[in-house]
């Protein structure tokens, strides 16, 4: 499985468009959102809050974009070619999720670096470490969702659906603007989105405390749901070859 992971990471790193938009976009948005318009009285709080939101947004986007890659692999016949190698199907899926996760990491790190170096966000060492790890591991449900879409849909449809999911999650989940700015009905929907709970892992950390049990429970629920979706989609794609 390791050579497969290495191969897929290599392919992603050579994808210039992904590297620029996947990594560049969240950083750019973070710097714009936090440095335009003055930031009001709690500028440093907003800089830390938005740093987590944008890192989560970038991680989410990178995780879901793995699905676009899966869909184009399918259309190239590469998934079928993999199926006639001795590599077991479950390893193919897990390998793809792991290789995807590795490409999620640089997106998180660049936003955090921008927060620390450009915006002067100050956290304890353990907070930086926990933040990175939690956002990295917490992206797994979105990886599953993206991969599930990729196995099920054409490359074009996957791209569109992924972008729609990403924007929807980012807005409703409060990654770009805090949920507290929203009307109460939207706020209560927002708190149950995986994106909000995902970012909450980070906000709890910057706030100096452990994420709540509710956050873990909601995320675990979404992971199960999206994981099942990915497996069902993979079986379906395998059947119709």
Partner 1 sequence: MVQARLRTVSVMEKTTGNGPAVVFTGAVKTFGRAERTVRAVDGIDLTVERGETVALLGRNGAGKSTAISLLLGLNEPDSGGVQLLGSAPEQAVRAGRVGAMLQDGRPIPRVTVRELIAFVASTYPSPMPVPESLALAGVSAYADRRIDKLSGGQIQRVRFAVALAGNPELVVLDEPTAALDVEARRAFWGSMRAYARRGNTVLFSTHYLEEADENADRIVVIDHGRIVADGSGDLIKESVGGSHVSFDLAGGPTQGLELLPGVNAVEIRGDRALLRTDDSDATVIELARLGRVRNLRVSPATLEDAFLSLTSPATDSESETV
Q: Which residues sit at the interface with partner 1, rule CB under 8 A?
A: 3-4, 6-7, 10-11, 14-15, 73, 76-78, 80-81, 83-88, 241
Angle between helices 155-172 and 194-206 (to 10 degrees): 50
Q: In whole angstroms, how close is the CB of 23 to partner 1 at the nearest point?
A: 17
The token pair at 49 is 């809050």
Q: With respect to partner 1, which residue has the nearer C-beta, 9 or 105? A: 9
Q: How far is 82 from 130, CA to CA, in rounded Å?
A: 36
Q: What is the dihedral of CA 10, 13, 18, 21, to 10 degrees?
A: 170
Give the count of alpha carbons within 13 A of 108, CB side only.
25
Q: Write down the residue that tokens 């986007």 correspond to.
A: 61
CB of 98 to partner 1, least distance (A): 15
Q: In terms of CB distance, is 10 or 122 closer to partner 1?
A: 10
Nearest CB to partner 1, comparing residues 78 and 126:
78
- To partner 1, the closest distance from the beta carbon of 60 in angstroms equals 23
Cβ closest to partner 1, residue 77 vs residue 168? 77
**Complex with partner 1: residue 117 or 241, whichever CB lies closer:** 241
Dihedral sign from CA coordinates of 188, 191, 192, 193 = positive
**Shortest reach from residue 63's CB to partner 1, in Å:** 20
Task: Give the CA diameter of the chain.
Answer: 61
User: How near is the Cβ of 74 to partner 1 at its closest, in Å?
Assistant: 11
């Amino acid at each position: 499985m390791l050579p497969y992971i290495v191969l897929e990471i290599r392919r992603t790193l050579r994808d210039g468009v992904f590297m620029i938009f996947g990594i560049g976009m969240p950083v750019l948005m973070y710097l714009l959102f936090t440095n335009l318009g003055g930031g009001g009285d709690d500028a440093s709080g907003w800089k830390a809050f938005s740093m987590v939101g944008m890192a989560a947004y970038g991680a989410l986007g990178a995780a879901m974009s793995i699905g676009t890659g899966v869909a184009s692999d399918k259309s190239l016949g590469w998934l079928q070619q993999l199926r006639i190698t001795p590599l077991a199907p479950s390893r193919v899926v897990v390998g793809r999720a792991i290789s995807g996760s590795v490409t999620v990491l640089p997106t998180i790190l660049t936003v955090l670096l921008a927060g620390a170096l450009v915006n002067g966000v100050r956290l304890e060492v353990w907070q930086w470490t926990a933040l990175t790890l939690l956002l990295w591991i917490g992206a797994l449900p979105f990886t599953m969702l993206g991969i599930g879409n990729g196995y099920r849909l054409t490359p074009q449809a996957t791209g569109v659906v992924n972008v729609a999911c990403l924007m929807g999650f980012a807005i409703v989940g409060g990654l770009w603007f805090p949920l507290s700015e929203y009307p109460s009905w939207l706020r209560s929907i927002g708190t149950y989105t995986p994106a909000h709970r995902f970012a909450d892992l980070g906000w709890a950390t910057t706030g100096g405390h452990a994420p709540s049990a509710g956050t873990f429970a909601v995320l675990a629920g979404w992971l199960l749901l999206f994981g099942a979706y990915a497996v069902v989609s993979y079986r379906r794609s395998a059947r119709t070859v």
